[in-house]
Amino acid sequence: MSISINNKDEIIMRLVHYFVTVENYQPIIVNGVRNEIWLENLDAPYRIIRINSNYIHNEDQFTFDSLKIKNVIKQIKRKTLSFKVKTLNILLDLNDDVNLESEKGIETFKISSIKDVRKDQGLAGIFPKLKTFTLNKGDNLDLIVKITNDINSKTEEDNQQYEKVFKPKPVILTKVLITLNVIMYILTVGSPELFGLLVLDPEAVRAGEYYRLITAAFLHGNIFHIFVNMYALYILGTQVETFLGRIKFVSIYLVSALTGSMMSVIITNSLSVGASGAIFGLLGALAYFGYHYRLYLGDALKNQIIPIILINLVIGFTIPMIDNAAHIGGLIGGIFIAMAVGLSGKKEQVARINGIVISVIYIMFLTYLIIR
């Protein structure tokens, strides 16, 4: 059986095959467009690649096409909570009389043949692997089968990775932390001396009793206080431990507890107890995770995670006796340490290094403000 493929279709297939299998882009559905392919990789320099095979024969059509791209990009920005979405616009059928111009945030290329793809001043200048990337020779049917199988294989590999991240796992450390908090509450509820020895006392911390920065995060003032915090820890801890893994989860929890207590000492300068700084750190880590996996979580980041953070911060500012400084300190620490420990399935070595550096600077800065 023989299948005929025109030049544009072959270019499209080869480009999509390359971007999906080599550059880890994924196709996205854009409503209201025809003869266009949109690809997305939130971790790539060009987060959006758009391949348009529609014929553009004059300047007016090119201007209209540019407006259409901007409109779609605005939708993507809102959906992904992004301020910048650098876009690569590939046109396959552009009249030679049309003046090709790139706009801010949108770089446009005209591609008429496979040779155009491999030119240094073209796409190969951005993606050097395109110079040598090729497929085995064969008839058109072999080409279609090869491309389809490769894309399906890459998609299956990605799906397995995301299934590994999101599938339910035994929750152990969350329950351990809850148990430790309950034990500490039982031990200190009838022992004012022990409670006073472990409570977050800014003067004692400045005098060198730095252990209080952690021990205070395992103390609670009353039964309602510990009930609310342990319920929040169970809900958030289960998710963070499942999505990020046990070691990363406990690292985020402890560092957030530390930074929450440090911020409390700096701003509140009064006695304080509770796990809420660490819990806000888990919220920060969940926000960081949700941002990087927002294509798979849908609107959960925008409609659930961020509103929960904002509502709790507002409550903290409006109700007396709530240590909102600890909440803010833990929230920031949770985001930074989540960046430092990294996310499963994401190749982000630069982001992890940045996270480590920022986390160290953040803790050192808080330390300086405490001891100065």
Where residue 37 falls (left for φ over 0; alpha for ψ -120 to 50; beta otherwise) is beta
86-140, pLDDT tens digit by residue?
899 988 888 888 887 777 888 888 888 777 777 767 788 888 887 776 655 555 5
pTM of the model: 0.75
Report the pLDDT averaged over residues 172-188: 96
Q: Which residues of 99-121 are buried (b: 16+ CB within 10 A; e: fewer)?
A: eeeeeeebebbbbeeeebbeeee
Residue with tokens 């046990």: 246
Q: What angle do CA 299, 300, 306 make, to 5 degrees?
A: 110
| Token couple for 4 | 């005929």
Burial class of 218 by CB neighbour count within 10 A (0 to 12, 13 to 18, 19+): buried
CA 297 to chain centre: 11
pLDDT at residue 346 greater than cutoff 80: no
Report the pLDDT averaged over residues 5-16: 76
195-233, pLDDT tens digit by residue?
999 999 999 999 999 999 999 999 999 999 999 999 999
- Whether 272 is catalytic is no
Give the active site residue among 256, 276, 292, 359: 276
d(CA 9, CA 140): 11
| Strand, coil or helix: 219 | coil
- Give yes or no for a contact between 323 and 272, defined as CB atoms under 8 angstroms apart: yes
- Whether 327 is catalytic is yes
Angle between helices 349-371 and 324-341 (to 10 degrees): 150
d(CA 301, CA 299): 6
Mean pLDDT of the chain: 84
Give the active site residue among 17, 220, 292, 327: 327
CB atoms within 10 A of CB 278: 31
Angle between helices 223-244 and 173-189 (to 10 degrees): 160
% the chain with pLDDT above 70: 86
d(CA 29, CA 32): 10
- In 3D space, the residue among 56, 61, 158, 45 whose CA is nearest the CA of residue 112 turns out to be 56
